[in-house]
Structure 1
Amino acid sequence: MTFKEKISKIGFILSLIIIIILAVLIFQKKFIKNFQKVKFSIKLIKIIGTKYGLKGPADVFFQGNKIIYIVDSGNSRILKFNILGKYIRQWGLQGGATGEFMVPLYGAVHNFNKGNPEIYIVDSGNSRIQVFTPQGKFIKEFGRSKNAKKMLVEPTYIGFANGKIYVANSGANDILIYFKTGQFYEKKDPKDKAKHNILKKPVSIAFSKKYIYVSDYKLSKILVFDKEFNLIGTIGTKGENGHKLFHPVGIVYKDGYLFTANYGRSIITVFKLSKGFNVIKSYNFGTPGIGGRNFNDESNISISKNGKYLAVADTNNNRIILYRIFGLD
């Protein structure tokens, strides 16, 4: 065998060894990834607010990952805690004046154009939205109007998508959309082919990149619309067993999962979705009851920005329950 042939043979062997090593590394990486994949679940880690006389808290919401706000509906106030449950501040009292509340039901944090975060509170009994700084200083309000078509009537939800503000106008069975300034933009009142109202009692909204999900309390379903509010499909069926829904309230979409406060059953129902609205798996968490690990008519839920924490407003147990989420894709 000539020297050239020897070099060629050695090169071939080295190339073969490199290919085998790469194949082993790729297989090992895939094996470790699959082996380490955690099954979807939630674990209770903390109960918040029991020392502060909560009375029917209707909502809880995150600012980022470390701050939690509680909409303490029965006491007409907003409380602020850190993720460890340490009290920070509170504001509000019952009434109709600026900064006062009458049955506040929902809250959310948003900052348009990367500005300072603002706290939006759905002041349902006063049929308006109030906006505050994180310190509780009043900024503005909107939603009241002499025009019936632009008027909020017992709203229950506020959210943000496509550069606009969406409000579930539950008392009028429609969705009102506003510019970021709070100026009215348009009303969404979708109809079926027979020109009948599709929405019967919209109470909460969630958003994915393509779809808008509306929790309808009366229909006991989640309605799925495109961005133009054309009905695409529904999620869930009405009932009180299995993974059926009964008077759902708060909903949150996160990474292909739709979390639902299944209010009428006092459980959390989660749907894993394919292509936005096809349910491929369903989960139930919690049991109805007083105290302990039970739920008693939980109203709304919230997920931290990093997707690690789930907070539940356990309304009739007068507390907030914080969970750690595992296995979220």
Structure 2
Amino acid sequence: METLSVIQPYTLWDLTHHSIMYPSDILYLNGDYIIIDQYNHRILWIDNKGALIRSSCKCGGTKNLFQYPTSLCTDYHDSIWVTDRWNHCVRHLSGKGELLGSFGVYGTQPGTFSEPWGIGFNSGKLYVSDRNNHRIQVFDTQGNFITAFGNSGPDKEYFESNDFKRGFIFEHWKNISHKFLTYDTLFYDNEYTIGTFEYPQNLSLSPSGNIAVADTGNDRIQIFSSSGSLIESITTHAMPDKSDFFSDILFIDDDTLLITAELNNIAYRKSGNCVETYYTLPEGRLNCISKGANGDVIALDTWNAKLAFFK
């Protein structure tokens, strides 16, 4: 990763012929590209030429598969773990897509979920961002709850309002709670608190086990140790384009973090350095990133159903 400051060339696959609607995550596994087709409630397996191999097509409640699957990861055994957002659970699949099990139900107690979003695996543990419960939960691969960290903050009154219950969240909510005074201001006294979350979404784990969380409602990325201790926060004001929404994050190694914000670029940050632009995709909207073959970075253009490969 010595040439991170150089805008890299890319190739592009058009996935629209697969009738994909809002792809939300991608995983490269054993030569295939596994894509979450979120609004069609399915997962697609694409070969290295862009052809469809198979899909999981079931949709419905908890007795079927998937209502708005959102994120996925793999473990030591090349099986796949998927957050099933509207069924409030995590699904366990084989590398070929067979259902092996699931865990989680709707709730607020430890081990339950309200719209689980991001997921990652490290050292035998699954880390899940429990979006509407404003926390990160940790499980073993049998689905047993281990621990959790984080709590909601700020704007608690809005969580209980009728607007929130009806789902009118972002525009009104951003207007009343997302204001920063100066560059790199992390919180107001008694309002923004380091270590709390507002609707955490995607997450990424470094090789050493640190956890980067897209704390979307608070316009920041928070980085924690494997035990849940806060290491640092990065606000959206640190982004080259001054974006106000973090979409996805990816640890390339222990020191390098890639960041995207549903714009046409991917930024990177070396530990202790400023955030800089790395990749650019003209007229694209890059919202999720992953590692591909041979050290490539792969990114989904969610709005246009395209897959970009950066060398």
Question: How would you bin the TM-score normalised by the shorter chain?
Answer: 0.7 to 0.9
Equivalent runs, 1:154-165 vs 2, <5 Å = 154-165=115-126
Which stretch shows the higher mean deviation, 206-215 or 167-176?
206-215
- Among 277, 290, 304, the residue aligned to 1:302: 290
The equivalent of 2:202 in structure 1 is: 204
In the superposition, relative to structure 1, how do residues 284 and 39 fare at CA in structure 2: closer, same or farther (>3 Å)?
closer
- Asked whether the 8 Å contact 1:213–1:224 carries over to 2, the reply is yes
Q: Percent identity?
A: 21
Choose 55-64 or 94-103, whichever is displaced more.
94-103
Q: Which amino acid aligns with 1:180?
A: T
- Following TM superposition, by how much is the alpha carbon of 1:285 offset from its aligned partner in structure 2, in angstroms? 3.1
| Matches for 1:109-258 after TM superposition, within 5 Å | 109-111=74-76, 115=77, 117-144=78-105, 148-189=109-150, 198-208=196-206, 209=208, 211-238=210-237, 242-255=240-253, 256-258=255-257
Retained in 1: the 8 A contact 2:211–2:225? yes
The answer to whether 1:285 aligns with 2:279 is: yes
2:84 maps to 1:103: no
1:235 alignment partner AA:
I
Structure 1 residues 86, 305: CA separation in 2 closer, same or farther (over 3 Å shift)?
same
Rounded to whole Å, the distance in 1 between the matches of 2:256 and 2:108 is 38
Q: Secondary structure at the match of 1:317?
A: coil
Distance across 2 between alignment mates of 1:144 and 1:157: 16
CA displacement, residues 11-52 of structure 1 (integer Å, 9 cap, x when unaligned) = xxxxxxxxxxxxxxxxxxxxxxx9xx7964432213142211
Q: Which amino acid aligns with 2:288?
A: N
Do the aligned partners of 2:68 and 2:85 also contact (CA within 8 Å) in 1? yes
Moved over 4 A (4+): 37-40, 190-197
**TM-fit CA distance, 1:99:** 4.5
In the alignment, structure 1 residue 60 sits paired with structure 2 residue 40 = no
Q: 1:14 — aligned with what? A: none
Supply the distance in 2 between the matched residues of 1:89 and 1:210 (Cα, whole angstroms). 32
**Match 1:93 to one of 42, 52, 58:** 58
- 1:190-227 CA distance string (max 9 Å, x none): 69997956112211222222632111111221112222
Higher helix residue share: 1
CA contact (8 A) 1:72 1:79 kept: yes
Residue pair 2:135, 2:150 contacting (<8 A) in 1 also: yes
Alignment equivalent of 1:316, drawn from 288, 299, 303: 303
Q: Does the 8 Å contact 2:28/2:291 carry over to 1? A: yes
Query: Aligned partners of 1:294 and 1:316: how far apart in 2?
Result: 10
Residues 75/210 of structure 1: CA separation in 2 closer, same or farther (3 Å cut): closer
Q: Which runs of 5 or more structure 2 residues have no equivalent in the other structure? A: 154-188
TM-superposed deviation, 1:142: 0.8
Pairing of 1:72-91 with structure 2 (within 5 A): 72-91=37-56
Q: What's the offset of the Cα at 1:86?
A: 2.6
Cα distance between partner residues in 2 of 1:300 and 1:128: 21
1:8-19 aligned within 5 A: none
Secondary structure at 1:247 match in 2 = coil
> Which protein shows a greater Rg?
1
Q: Provide Cα deviations, 1:111-161, integer angstroms capped at 9, x if missing partner.
A: 3xxx4x211111111111111112221100012266623211111111012
| Mapped partners of 2:123, 2:73: distance in 1 | 16
Q: TM-score under structure 1 normalisation?
A: 0.74
SS in structure 2 opposite 1:171?
helix
- Shift of the 39–245 alpha-carbon distance from structure 1 to 2, 3 Å rule, reads closer
1:237 positional shift:
3.2
State the 1:63 CA deviation.
0.9
What residue identity is the alignment partner of 1:119?
I
Shift of 1:67: 1.5
Q: Partners in 1 of 2:209 and 2:60 — Cα distance?
A: 39
Count of residues paired in the alignment = 271
